[in-house]
Structure 1
Amino acid sequence: MFTLSNICSERAFTLIRHLGRHPRDTFYVRELSRELGLPLGPVSETLVELAGAGIIRRRERGRIVTYQARESSPLLREMKILITLFECSSLLSDLEAVSSTIILFGSCADGTDTAESEIGLCIRTDDAGVAEECIRAHTPVGGRDVAAMILTDDAFRRLSEREQAVYQQIIAGNVLYQREGGQAGRLKADQFQKPRHSSHVWTDDSYEA
């Protein structure tokens, strides 16, 4: 039986992450064990439990068994969002010091993301340079790029007027952080490590009056 303790295990998270981010692919048990570096027996047991919970599909053809993410599962989508948040925890912790609001948006916010999806973040801040350095220092996150929109409060308001489609996508996302009183803290750019990877960052230059 699949319980809360099962679903919160590191092995279950690893399998959900891999299958959920490759939703069109089917996998053999041995294939998953080899690719993820996990013991065959426990992997097989966890896959059976995940299938029983409706998170993944189990297909049998004679003695051949394959597994695939069940894209229609609300629980799968919520677990994928949770896993993304775990992976972003260090980045978000640093961004909170210089941000008034952080919003996760796009496919990662609704659990339809894949291994190729970028992690969409909208960051409202008066310290765009520091926020950008923070993102570059933490990228990649879980093997994926971060696509960040870094905006002042005024630029965010202009975005709502000029780019309604983008604005609606952002506000439909998940608010991960909102500072009470609206005053962000202060970090310095040199507190972050040298950038290890490229990321896609949009600042409010595109939305100047």
Structure 2
Amino acid sequence: MYLSDIITSEVRIKLLIELFSETRKHLYVRELTRRVGTEINAVRRELKRLNKAGIIKKEKRGNRLYYLLRKDHPFYFELTGMVAKEAGIGKGIIENLSDLGKVRLSLLSTEYAEGRESAKNELDLLVVGDINLPKLSEIVKEVSALSKREINYTVLGEEEFEYLKNRRDAFLLSFLMSPNIFLAGDIMKMSLT
């Protein structure tokens, strides 16, 4: 299932992907039009709809009108998750599940999905299971090159995940207790606490 199965406007989907990929940045209409690759009137129309829905806010600076996501919107985190699964590493994982082996759990850091650059010691992506490491590495490299952002990821076998979780490993628990986006697996069987 794709976002296009729920949201019928392709322009709106592209705008959401652009806006969510840089949540801290104010973007103006012409910049969004270039990024989305469509006509300016279609972009304006969809921005007007997103603004009316309260998902974005607009701000006038000089002669330019800038748009920014509203993080206080009731559906902000749900939309972040949906968009993260439609683009970038989320899409890469979901589209290649059958080639990745037995993925028991895959979580993406919400902070990474919001466009924040992570420190070297922070985790962006956790994949648990019997994983085809060369394929995962290929996906990560491909997405990193396209997004020009490094992805810090860790792969754990099921037993190792359970061992570290039961041992209350600080690194793992810190990631699990942070806001994350569920990408794949069985979250109920892989209890996180």
Matching of residue 147 in structure 1 with residue 148 in structure 2: no
Give 3-state SS (helix, strand or coil) of 1:125's partner. Answer: strand
Partner of 2:184: 176
Deviation at 1:123, TM superposition (A): 2.2
Distance 1:36 1:68 in 2: 16
**Match for 2:125: what amino acid?**
L
User: Per the alignment, in what secondary structure is the counterpart of residue 65 of structure 2?
Assistant: strand
Question: What's the % identity of the aligned pairs?
Answer: 22
CA–CA separation in structure 2 for the residues paired with 1:30 and 1:100: 41
Give the corresponding residue for 1:94.
96
Say whether 1:123 aligns with 2:130.
no
Distance in 2, Cα, partners of 1:61 & 1:179 = 45
The CA RMSD measured in Å over matched residues stands at 3.5
TM score, norm. by length of structure 1:
0.66
Q: Tell me which residue corresponds to 1:138.
A: 139
- Alpha-carbon distance in 1 for matches of 2:188, 2:61: 56
Tell me: CA distance 1:39–1:159, structure 2 relative to 1, closer, same or farther (3 Å).
same
Secondary structure at 2:102's aligned position in 1?
coil
Distance 1:39 1:19 in 2: 17
AA in 2 matched with 1:21: S
Secondary structure in 1 aligned to 2:54? coil
CA deviations on 1:144-179 (whole Å, 9 max, x unpaired) are: 544322112221122221523522532664262139
User: Radius of gyration: which is bigger?
Assistant: 1
Structure 1: runs of 5 or more not aligned: 183-209
Structure 2's unaligned 5+ residue stretches are none
Distance 1:81 1:6, change over 3 A: closer
Q: Per-residue deviation at 1:71?
A: 1.9
1:47-126 superposed matches below 5 A: 47-60=47-60, 64-87=64-87, 88-96=90-98, 98-107=101-110, 113-114=114-115, 116=117, 120-126=124-130
In the alignment of these two chains, the number of paired residues is 174
The 2-side partners of 1:62 and 1:84 are apart by: 32
Matched residue SS, 1:24: coil
Q: Measure, in 1, the Cα distance between the counterparts of 2:6 and 2:126.
A: 33
**Does 2:31 correspond to 1:23?**
no
- 2:185 aligned counterpart, secondary structure: strand
